[in-house]
Amino acid sequence: MAGYAAIVVSALMIGLPIYWMLIASLKTSREIYTVPPTWIPLNPTLENYPAAWRAAPFARYYINSIIVTLATTLSKMTLAVLTAYALVFLRFPGKNVVFVTVLAALMVPAQITIVPNFLTMGDLRLVNTYWGLILPGAATAFGTFLMRQYFMTLPREVFEAAEIDGAGHMRRLWEIAVPLAMPALVTTGLFAVVNEWNEFLWPLIITSTEDMRTLPIGVARLLDQEGLARWGVVMAGTMFVVLPVVILFVWAQRYIVEGIAAGAVKG
């Protein structure tokens, strides 16, 4: 019984802010500031959505976010698969050192790498470019670790049979390992999408013009520095960012559970 109660409490803690964001995007400013607050909009309106869309160039922000998210996610998935396969199925000197290095990278806060990455992008003249947005996040230690753990659970007999039949490493990777590890691969991709889609600090630092900004920065633009923000408009802008990720999570939730659970089976 305590377990169910904990689930309900957790769901409320996570769901209430999202629900409040949704209903606030459908309220007028007067109703948002009403005390006590209303949990169901008295006069629902969609006017906040076009107002938010006009307040900042969200069409351009969407294009930038999609380009950066897709490119970075594909890069992370590809590098995670290749690295994990090498760590599990190949023999080479220093393999354990490479794996320990990957684990160590999981413990380094992303904020620590901001200055080195910015200086590197500056030296390469990639500031305020798509490459500058993409390259620092092109690899993933978490995805590599997750894929390695999943690959270790796969039956070795299948790979040995393919090797006897003359299949090389690349064929074994793309025709056997990747299809069998699809739950872990989808999980890796989903985590990459969420991370890049919601990234705020790095795009804010590496870009300097409006045509290179991404969606989280666009939402921040809706905030009035004088403290007189139109919160209905801000919440509507936030929905522009949140809704695609929620839809993606609903579609891929079963892969997330399978991927994480299987990746934790064998170390």
Residues 168 and 259 in one domain: yes
Residues 39 and 68 in one domain: no
Residue 169 is predicted with a pLDDT of 84
140 by Cβ neighbours in 10 Å (0-12 / 13-18 / 19+) ranks as buried
Query: pLDDT band at 7, cuts 50/70/90?
Result: confident
Q: What's the chain's average pLDDT? A: 85
Residues 28 and 106 in one domain: no
DSSP, res 35: S
Give the number of domains in the chain: 2
Residue 11 is predicted with a pLDDT of 82
Residues 1 and 70 in one domain: no
CA torsion, ordered 168, 170, 176, 181, to nearest 10 deg = 150
Residues 70 and 196 in one domain: yes
| Number of CB atoms found within 10 A of residue 141's CB | 18
Contact 80, 188 (CB under 8 A): yes
Predicted confidence (pLDDT) per residue in 56-96, tens digit: 888 899 999 999 999 999 999 999 999 999 998 888 888 88
Residues 68 and 152 in one domain: yes
Contact 237, 254 (CB under 8 A): no
The helix (H) or strand (E) run that includes residue 101 is helix 95-106
The whole domain housing 27 covers 1-45
Residue 228 is predicted with a pLDDT of 59
Contact 218, 237 (CB under 8 A): yes
Predicted confidence (pLDDT) per residue in 166-223, tens digit: 888 888 888 888 888 888 888 889 889 989 999 999 999 999 888 899 989 888 887 7
